[in-house]
Chain A
């Protein structure tokens, strides 16, 4: 332990604690801007500086360790002056436009500047400007970038894609796509982790809410919405709702209030995914081909696989993601059932994800042959903006059920929203298919957890299955390298691009400095635990869908509508693979 004094408070902390952590542990909050624990400790913004007695220069607290006997002042006149000037300097190059900024009211720079009482900046405004592709889903506004480098670090260290890099030198140093590529030509997975870790409004997801309102205003269109599992445990954060108040029922009510004609639950098509993917697994187990089988419901992960390990694309399950299965069945079977012309259906997905926007536009995702199976994808954040724009008082909303004819979903579908959930749901059904009876619903619980890679061994019938679940693309890479080198053998692997799975998705609400994925996941497991039905194959509407329309899992019609060819579209290769070619 190390004894020291922070702002006249004697404190004792373990060795190798940073000054910042030591202060925060003891109730002294030093402001920080570029700092991101364990990921970005580069002392670039110089906001977290403190004065250490006996040291003439101010010391960055985020990346310097405490020493025995240190006397630290976090707010001396010297610190106060330097911190304020540094924030003013950042503001001089920041396009301060808070009222019309996507992060207005949820911006770390704005908060720090307000907290420091900055009401005027004495410096000349020098706002950098850069080109960016208009069509891109991932947007960068150079005029807002404060060069904190978090995006570079998240992409390098957590996702191991290295899409971002420093560009230029000297005073013109900024951030851009690495290797002088453009975003559209890069191997970006569109996971959105850079967006959710940007402290300001420099990185954002293309806003498509206008298209949504246009669709609502179009009397020719029947607007149908599907809501992903991970949305329901996160959207309420923006309105100060507790998880138990931010129910799916209130989402339905809000969407109905806005004017959506039908609101359905993506959990239903998650159950459908399980039917197809579970049976696909059993079929591959028999044949031993394209092994191990990887889940394919995360479009960020599919992009990663295609760009980094193009030779392993056939190991991906051919089952579509729940979003796309939903689009395919709603515009075929259910359109007929409801008596609506499928061409008139405008299907909007509310997703915790940025990559879903891209997935919906893939040329292969038009199996209902209406143009696109899913017409528009809104992120959880866009959904929140829509609700705010419609000035809906959410806590006064009366809960409404999902619409018929697909109003029933299962606990298995709900846990799709967290890492390990797809695996668990699939094993529940696969086990039932093989053994002829349902397992304990929690029999496969050991695959849950917050470690980046989790492994388990389960016996289904006479077969021992080695499975793994990983979240975060860095963990995915590690897992694949282990598989490729023969160090590990698995039968079935679930991968989610975002750490923690969809709960931590790139389209989810942003709270700087907090990783909420695992908190949000708890809520999903609670829903599963209390669900009436906890097995996808027991969803009566799923049974009915097969009876009435799809015949059985992997049937020709199921193959046409519910499966996809991952080789049917091009993805830019990783730069080193690209160079080899």
Chain B
């Protein structure tokens, strides 16, 4: 008998390890609307399988809990059963010896509190409050509801122009989204159950890169109605596009020199080249939208005037007002806001950061845009300072990785406390207080707390504050538009409650959000404005969707896009990302499981052919 031995996993363990991974991926691909009592009971059974069996509360208690919840699900329980479930879970939580027991019980407790009404429904009416309401995961997670399986099928048949037409039915910014969409559609892709989500955005990029010029559809018969749109960003232009197609006369009023909003004045061109943005804008304007740039509402033209001249108004002014970090020394020379910096870049006025040491404060995508732009503007060093951990950053991981590989640094768990400067008022350093990751907050991220450590001095010449944006709503508030927490208050149909004929949407309603959410708001507004004006025009397309391919889909790796090498790209503003090759795009498009045809999608809520 050896005194010690190397433990090597046997075959069963290896298979189980792989099954764990399968389950992880399966949970990722879980569809919305599942009965919460059922799914939490299923999790509870998993927890129970993990029990070592030593202690009573966990070994016996979890068994009894699953039996009780089974009774609820089978309609064999009474209202008192809920009390017993609650009591048992509480006792397990309070008396189990290790986390396997007390954490499992805590999950049950959370459920009894969080969806008690569903427990009651099961007991009283023997039915469930939930049902699967959107069966095609990608479509349901796309705020604009783009027909993703449809356009992927078209791509796989080489019908790129049709793919663009189909996308435009729900989103008039196919090129922009092909380059910068945050692709929430990929999050719960059913393909995760097999290997990994389909690279939807890359496929869209392939379509727009290969479609050639695709004209907008014909406008419907003129209605004689006028709509004013305030703000020519993604939301306003999306509304303009659809309203124009519906036959309404649309005029867009844009405060800045050019159209595009944050797409032009927020996103650097290495992510979204201006000529690509222009493709989308040109198509939108080709429907006959009238544009007034350099016009500020409240200054150049009054809201009351617009209200008089137009049948309806859509406010989509975005969130272009910078927020302060709120620390001492923020008024020193060399402290600039992200909005200001990115707007200058958008206008073609590139600041010169040659030999400058730059610090960016913030952890979102805007902070990454500033960080990577600063590097391109010649900065000697760029550090992004963030008060939480790197995994807690709201920026896309690809953006963070990109910044690092381009030579920028990320300093996490550092909270800015003051900016110091020289006698002329120039910035010399940012002082930061090291933090420690603490309790988990409502967003599920640990709250940063002051660490038991001395503040650190970071020498620098430029501090860029990328800590969020607000909306300049004063002229609208003065006109009587209702405001809630710095944003415009609207109903779910984008209509303003207190003034007839005014709608609002996009960042000015939601606070800074994503491009696709702004586009979706524009689409929703167009539909409801059309209805408000007394019409029910239908936006649809005659593109027919190819039949799905038959048969099993063997596991196959996801193909990611490549990027220009970091050393080459970090000194120019040219597009970083390289699109998929035809070979890659064909393989990737055929990975799509066609949830519009297979599964629930063919029964209910699958394809929305018109809106």
Residues of chain A whose beta carbon lies under 8 Å from any beta carbon of chain B: 41-44, 52, 54-57, 59, 63-65, 67, 129-131, 149, 152-153, 165-173, 176, 180
B602 neighbours in A (Cβ, 8 Å): 41-43, 63
Asked if B131 contacts A57 (CB within 8 A), the reply is no
- Asked whether B611 is an interface residue with its Cβ less than 8 Å from the other chain, the reply is no
- Asked whether B184 is an interface residue with its Cβ less than 8 Å from the other chain, the reply is no
A149 neighbours in B (Cβ, 8 Å): 603
A131 neighbours in B (Cβ, 8 Å): 125-126
Asked if A168 contacts B552 (CB within 8 A), the reply is no
Q: Which of B38, B551, B552 contacts A170 (CB 8 A)?
A: B38
B547 neighbours in A (Cβ, 8 Å): 64-65, 67
B604 neighbours in A (Cβ, 8 Å): 152, 166
24 examples of A-B residue contacts, CB within 8 angstroms: A41-B602, A42-B602, A52-B550, A55-B550, A59-B551, A63-B597, A64-B550, A67-B547, A129-B75, A130-B127, A149-B603, A165-B131, A166-B604, A167-B128, A167-B131, A168-B35, A168-B128, A168-B130, A169-B33, A169-B35, A169-B131, A169-B132, A172-B38, A173-B131
Closest chain A CB from B221 CB (angstroms): 14
Asked if B127 contacts A55 (CB within 8 A), the reply is no
Asked if B128 contacts A172 (CB within 8 A), the reply is yes
Can you name the residue of chain B whose Cβ is closest to the Cβ of A182?
A: B125
Chain A CB count within 10 A is highest, among B35, B125, B126, B547, for B126
The 10 closest A-B CB pairs, nearest first, are A55-B551, A168-B128, A42-B603, A169-B35, A55-B550, A56-B552, A57-B552, A169-B34, A170-B38, A42-B602
Q: How far is the CA of A170 from the CA of B550 in the complex (A)?
A: 25
Report B56-76 CB contacts with A as 1/0, cut-off 8 Å: 000000000000000001010
B121 neighbours in A (Cβ, 8 Å): 180
Asked if B35 contacts A172 (CB within 8 A), the reply is yes
- Chain B interface residue count, Cβ-Cβ cutoff 8 angstroms: 24
- Asked whether B129 is an interface residue with its Cβ less than 8 Å from the other chain, the reply is yes
A173 neighbours in B (Cβ, 8 Å): 131
Asked if A169 contacts B127 (CB within 8 A), the reply is no
Apart from A55-B551, A67-B547, A168-B35, 15 more pairs, CB < 8 Å: A43-B602, A52-B551, A130-B127, A131-B125, A149-B603, A168-B128, A169-B33, A169-B34, A169-B38, A169-B131, A170-B35, A172-B35, A172-B128, A180-B127, A180-B129
Closest chain B CB from A40 CB (angstroms): 8
Q: How far is the CA of A64 from the CA of B602 in the complex (A)?
A: 12
Asked if A166 contacts B132 (CB within 8 A), the reply is yes
Q: Interface majority SS on A: helix, strand, loop or mixed?
A: loop
A167 neighbours in B (Cβ, 8 Å): 127-128, 131
Q: How far is the CA of A293 from the CA of B75 in the complex (A)?
A: 49
B603 neighbours in A (Cβ, 8 Å): 42, 44, 149, 153
Can you name the residue of chain B whose Cβ is closest to the Cβ of A52?
A: B550
B131 neighbours in A (Cβ, 8 Å): 165-169, 173
Closest chain B CB from A134 CB (angstroms): 15
B129 neighbours in A (Cβ, 8 Å): 180
Report B73-86 CB contacts with A as 1/0, cut-off 8 Å: 10100000000000
A165 neighbours in B (Cβ, 8 Å): 131
Can you name the residue of chain A whose Cβ is closest to the Cβ of B36?
A: A169
Asked if A176 contacts B33 (CB within 8 A), the reply is no
Q: How far is the CA of A153 from the CA of B551 in the complex (A)?
A: 27
In B91-128, which residues have CB < 8 Å from any A CB?
Answer: 121, 125-128
Closest chain A CB from B277 CB (angstroms): 40
B132 neighbours in A (Cβ, 8 Å): 166, 169
Q: How far is the CA of A169 from the CA of B604 in the complex (A)?
A: 14
A41 neighbours in B (Cβ, 8 Å): 602
Can you name the residue of chain A whose Cβ is closest to the Cβ of B547?
A: A65
Asked if A56 contacts B38 (CB within 8 A), the reply is no
Closest chain B CB from A460 CB (angstroms): 35
Closest chain A CB from B75 CB (angstroms): 7
Asked if A56 contacts B551 (CB within 8 A), the reply is yes
A65 neighbours in B (Cβ, 8 Å): 547
Q: How far is the CA of A165 from the CA of B133 in the complex (A)?
A: 11
A57 and B551 contact, Cβ closer than 8 Å, known pairs A170-B38, A172-B128, A180-B121:
yes
Report B520-555 CB contacts with A as 1/0, cut-off 8 Å: 000000000000000000000000000100111000
A172 and B73 contact, Cβ closer than 8 Å, known pairs A42-B602, A130-B126:
yes
Closest chain B CB from A400 CB (angstroms): 50
Can you name the residue of chain B whose Cβ is closest to the Cβ of A142?
A: B126
B125 neighbours in A (Cβ, 8 Å): 131, 180
Chain B CB count within 10 A is highest, among A42, A170, A176, for A170
B73 neighbours in A (Cβ, 8 Å): 172
Closest chain B CB from A580 CB (angstroms): 14
B597 neighbours in A (Cβ, 8 Å): 63
A169 and B552 contact, Cβ closer than 8 Å, known pairs A42-B602, A44-B603, A180-B121:
no
Can you name the residue of chain B whose Cβ is closest to the Cβ of A130?
A: B126
Q: How far is the CA of A56 from the CA of B132 in the complex (A)?
A: 29
Closest chain A CB from B415 CB (angstroms): 44
In B9-65, which residues have CB < 8 Å from any A CB?
Answer: 33-35, 38-39
Can you name the residue of chain A whose Cβ is closest to the Cβ of B554?
A: A56
Asked if B550 contacts A59 (CB within 8 A), the reply is yes
Chain B CB count within 10 A is highest, among A42, A43, A169, A171, for A169
Closest chain A CB from B212 CB (angstroms): 27
Q: Which of A44, A57, A152, A168 contacts B550 (CB 8 A)?
A: A57
Can you name the residue of chain B whose Cβ is closest to the Cβ of A177?
A: B127
Closest chain B CB from A164 CB (angstroms): 11
Chain A CB count within 10 A is highest, among B35, B127, B602, for B127
Chain A CB count within 10 A is highest, among B35, B121, B603, for B603
Closest chain A CB from B103 CB (angstroms): 23
Q: How far is the CA of A171 from the CA of B33 in the complex (A)?
A: 14
B34 neighbours in A (Cβ, 8 Å): 169-170
A168 neighbours in B (Cβ, 8 Å): 35, 127-128, 130-131
A63 neighbours in B (Cβ, 8 Å): 597, 602
Q: How far is the CA of A167 from the CA of B130 in the complex (A)?
A: 7
Closest chain B CB from A453 CB (angstroms): 19
A169 and B550 contact, Cβ closer than 8 Å, known pairs A42-B603, A149-B603:
no
Q: How far is the CA of A165 from the CA of B547 in the complex (A)?
A: 27
Q: How far is the CA of A18 from the CA of B75 in the complex (A)?
A: 41
Can you name the residue of chain A whose Cβ is closest to the Cβ of B38?
A: A170
Can you name the residue of chain A whose Cβ is closest to the Cβ of B534?
A: A485
Closest chain A CB from B118 CB (angstroms): 11
Q: How far is the CA of A131 from the CA of B76 in the complex (A)?
A: 12
Report B581-602 CB contacts with A as 1/0, cut-off 8 Å: 0000000000000000100001
Q: How far is the CA of A167 from the CA of B133 in the complex (A)?
A: 11
Q: How far is the CA of A166 from the CA of B133 in the complex (A)?
A: 10
Q: How far is the CA of A152 from the CA of B128 in the complex (A)?
A: 17
Can you name the residue of chain A whose Cβ is closest to the Cβ of B31?
A: A169
Closest chain A CB from B44 CB (angstroms): 14
Closest chain B CB from A294 CB (angstroms): 23
Can you name the residue of chain B whose Cβ is closest to the Cβ of A43?
A: B602
Can you name the residue of chain A whose Cβ is closest to the Cβ of B601?
A: A42
A130 neighbours in B (Cβ, 8 Å): 126-127
Q: How far is the CA of A131 from the CA of B603 in the complex (A)?
A: 25
Closest chain A CB from B445 CB (angstroms): 30
Q: How far is the CA of A131 from the CA of B75 in the complex (A)?
A: 10
In B160-209, which residues have CB < 8 Å from any A CB?
Answer: none
Closest chain A CB from B133 CB (angstroms): 10
Closest chain B CB from A141 CB (angstroms): 14
Closest chain A CB from B427 CB (angstroms): 57
Closest chain A CB from B607 CB (angstroms): 13
In B119-158, which residues have CB < 8 Å from any A CB?
Answer: 121, 125-132
Closest chain B CB from A161 CB (angstroms): 15
A59 neighbours in B (Cβ, 8 Å): 550-551
B75 neighbours in A (Cβ, 8 Å): 129
Closest chain B CB from A193 CB (angstroms): 18
Closest chain A CB from B1 CB (angstroms): 47
Q: How far is the CA of A209 from the CA of B463 in the complex (A)?
A: 87
Q: Which of A55, A64, A169 contacts B130 (CB 8 A)?
A: A169
Closest chain A CB from B141 CB (angstroms): 18
